[in-house]
Amino acid sequence: SRGITHIVSVLKTRMEDQLPPTLKRLWIPVIDIATSTLEFESKWPEALKFLRDCMDSGGVALIHCRAGMSRSSTILLAHLLDYHKMNLRDAWQLLCSKHPIAAPITPFWKALIAFEQRLFQETSPD
């Protein structure tokens, strides 16, 4: 269990019946296609607050999607920017060092770049 206390499920369908009832859960019903980007991005504040509350309470979070490549990686990157005040380049390098299959789709990348600009009023250097 690795001490997991919170889980963020970024899936089209809910899977709560398969999870232990002791976990605090957040379900973000989004599919991994370009047209879902605005819908997905609108859910980020809720996800980031959930993760912030987890971290502030000493909890351990698991973020997952179907393949573990795009949606979950996008949420984690947004969290690293928001909570840990990392720039996108450093957050990406950290994520890739721990989870090499991470691969947000292009529209999610664009949303992350815009999010970084809003947070820090600048983008990461090339």
pLDDT per residue rounded down to tens, the chain (126 residues): 689 999 999 998 877 667 788 899 999 998 878 777 888 899 999 999 999 999 999 999 999 999 989 999 999 999 999 999 999 999 999 999 999 999 999 999 999 999 999 999 865 565
Q: What's the confidence (pLDDT) of residue 124?
A: 59
126 domain residue, yes or no: no
Q: What's the confidence (pLDDT) of residue 81?
A: 98
CATH of the domain at 57: 3.90.190.10
In terms of residue numbers, what domain contains 101? 6-120
CA angle, 105 as apex, 30 and 91 as ends, to 5°? 100
53 domain residue, yes or no: yes
- What CA–CA distance (Å, rounded) separates 117 from 88? 10
Pairing verdict, β 6-9 and 24-27: parallel
Pairing verdict, β 61-64 and 24-27: unpaired
Q: What's the confidence (pLDDT) of residue 82?
A: 97
**What total number of domains does the chain contain?**
1
- What CA–CA distance (Å, rounded) separates 4 from 83? 18
Q: Which residues are catalytic?
A: 65
125 domain residue, yes or no: no
92 domain residue, yes or no: yes
Output the six-digit token pair for 73: 């990686």
Q: What's the confidence (pLDDT) of residue 45?
A: 96
